[in-house]
A and B are shown apart, each in its own frame.
Chain A
Amino acid sequence: MICDVNVYLSRWPFRRLPCDTTSELVSKLKRSQISRAYAGSFDGLLYKDLRAVNQRLYDDCKSQGADLLIPVGSINPTLPGWEDDVIACHEQWKMTGIRLHPNYHEYELSSPETKKLFAMAAERGLFIQIAMRMEDDRTQHKLMRIPDVNFEALPGLMKEQDGLQVTILNGMKSLRGANLIRLTENPNLTIEIAMLEGVGGIEKIMEQVPYEQILFGSYFPFFYLESSLNKLKESQLGMEIEKQITWENAQKRFAKT
């Protein structure tokens, strides 16, 4: 049983991906022992009508998600009236969390809107996922050069919101050492393994991050799902820790009670 915290529905704006229809995606997840997947939408990157994006995401998960897909709405706090999007995610669609792409939406985590958004999420018991990057900056479209998210302000933001769960998606290509430890000092901060590289990646990152704060994420369908699955074999975690990383940690933190 695996819970994948990093899945996207709909279309990557620059290329068709294998399994970028919900039905193909779900059947591939099922074949690969993924029994729960937190899904955002690629449309959340560039579309302005995020209400419609989140509605479609919700509908897709409900109609084709086979009890496996859990929708995670996109919020852009630079949009007029974004607060209503948070309310809709929480009250209308009963979502348990939201996904942010600050670099695609051109704001810093130090901005006043972010502070307000974090407070709103904490108050409503929503978890927050923040995607650090969506692709290697060396392969980005020439007209769409998007820098990585800067997490400098995150520890301060989280300190103000007791109990708020935050997960960094696609962060492990570059977050290391002091930069990483500064973030994971807060036990409510989790990372996931989609972009974790290096031989025996999970074993090695466990020297820096407690396994309770490591989650299984694949960034499927942008990445081959097998990449993260293989990492469970390349590191020898033992049954207990593997269970925590692939299932328990996420359930404890994000599952609806």
Chain B
Amino acid sequence: MNTFLVFLEQREGVVKKSSIDTWNRAQELAALHPGAAVSALLVGPASTRQLDGCPGGNGVIYHANEEAFRLYNPEHYTRLVVETMKRVAATTLFFADTALSRDLAPRLSVRLKASLLTGCAVDDAWGENGGGCCQRPVYSGAAIASFAPCRPLKIYTCTPRASRISSPITSGARASVVVLEPSSSTSEELFPLVRRMAMHEGVRDVAEARIIVAGGRGMGRAGFGLLEALARLLGGAVGASRPVVDEGWRPHAEQIGQTGKTVAPALYLACAISGAPQHLAAIGSAGIVVAINCDPHAPIFDVADYALVGDVHLLLPKLIEEFREFLKKR
């Protein structure tokens, strides 16, 4: 029998959308595999009201709401997850693919002697061929590899799905919340120790945005004002190609590509980005791709759904105007 444990990550007391999406996916998988059960572990103080009705499905959400878990601590988190895996006799541990899970999962895989599959699209094919397989792009998106775990315990960090974003399961069932007893070890000061966490004010992270308005070298430094305006209007985030970051026009956190972030927004708008393989490698899971470029032969058009050929400096103000009109009427 399969028992899934889903790690619910909170930052500043708010459970991440990507974690809720992962929970929903685990519920879907459980529905496909009779006998499978789903539990979750929410680490750190967080309002569980946010979870009310949102993660549907069956199962227990174990909540470790101690203050000591507010900030990420690799060792405390590792111990807690190991304990909880034992407690619920979990065979499979699901994370959303985040900075935290990329740090925590490799530690856990050694501690638990588990197979680790990072950055995977866990889809309906998960149960095929003996179970637990998943796929992801390799070699800058030139190829797709299938990975199969060989150990009884498995850990996944799951990439977001472009098409369905945190669609709540409406089966009517409700998960119950069990608050965990404070653990004795959390009073110990364990290193590495996160001293501080500073969030950027009012900036949406590209890795989590549903809409990304990305700009390349052709935007020019000043041109990013247009992209910011459009992103604000659509509730999206600004992204950038590498030269833009290397020039210092935008922070590294916004870089998309092989040496930046991998993204899966519902809409990716590429403005004055040529579409180098290192850039395309990171947008393979995007939903709709729109490219605006003055060069009709730019490789970005090979991966785009919609193309607008022309000068971004002329087209973007018009595009912003059209969206504004549409949103006003709606």
The yes or no verdict on A and B being binding partners is no
Interface residues of B (CB under 8 A from A): none
